[in-house]
Amino acid sequence: MNTYQIVSTVGALILYIPLALQILQGKARQNAATFILWGSLDAIAAVSIYIQGGNWHLPAAYTAGCALIVVCLVIKGYIEWTPFETKTTFLVVICLVGWYLSGPYLATILSTAGVVIAGFPQIKDTWKRPEHTPTWLYPSYTVVNIISTVGGSAWTVEERLYPLCCAIMCGIVAILSFRKFHFFKPHSA
């Protein structure tokens, strides 16, 4: 584990604490379904990358953080499960089947793609209600994902695919969350 991986892993774990507190205080509202799906897919990614000897620390930290957030969201009753989340759940099953049929390399690719697709409910929620997404959170996740990407030892699936894809997805949510500020709204003449 190199310095970049340590910084990104510790940073990711720390980011979950203020989010958990904000959820419990009613100041932030996230999609519980998204975090359940992300946590499941993060766990598949972490284990499959670990088996390959790759950069597994960040998805392992995300798995632990997602579990904490899901508990907080359930306590607050922030559970929204639509047909879209049900369809997205099949990604977890597809990842497991792919792993069984082809091994950890394909499981890493499928679970990484699944994490991004499972982020669509959060992207949708942030688009509709940017005020419910803590503006500091997703830029911070983007940074820890970039740090983890830099910490990969090679441009391979097991070293850099997961953090790079997560950086892009978190960056999209971050940009959408900035819409709550007036300087991103159209000005009338």
Domain boundaries, the chain: 3-180
Instruction: Find the distance separating the first CA and the last CA of the chain, reported in whole Å.
Output: 55
pTM of the entire predicted model = 0.85
| Top-confidence residue, 128 or 89 | 128
| Crossing angle for the helix pair 57-76 and 137-151, to the nearest 10 degrees | 160
| Top-confidence residue, 13 or 38 | 13
* Res 184: pLDDT: 54
Question: pLDDT-derived band of residue 159, with 50, 70 and 90 as boundaries?
Answer: very high
Q: Quote the CA–CA distance of 112 and 65 in Å, as a whole number.
A: 17
When pLDDT is averaged across residues 25-53 and rounded to a whole number, the result is 88
| Crossing angle for the helix pair 32-51 and 120-128, to the nearest 10 degrees | 150
Range with top average pLDDT, 19-28, 58-67, 121-130, 170-179: 58-67
Q: Quote the CA–CA distance of 158 and 172 in Å, as a whole number.
A: 23
Lowest mean pLDDT among 80-89, 105-114, 121-130: 80-89
Q: How many CA atoms lie within 13 A of 121 on its CB side?
A: 24
In tens, the pLDDT along 172-186 reads 999 999 987 755 555
Supply 165's token pair: 């894809």
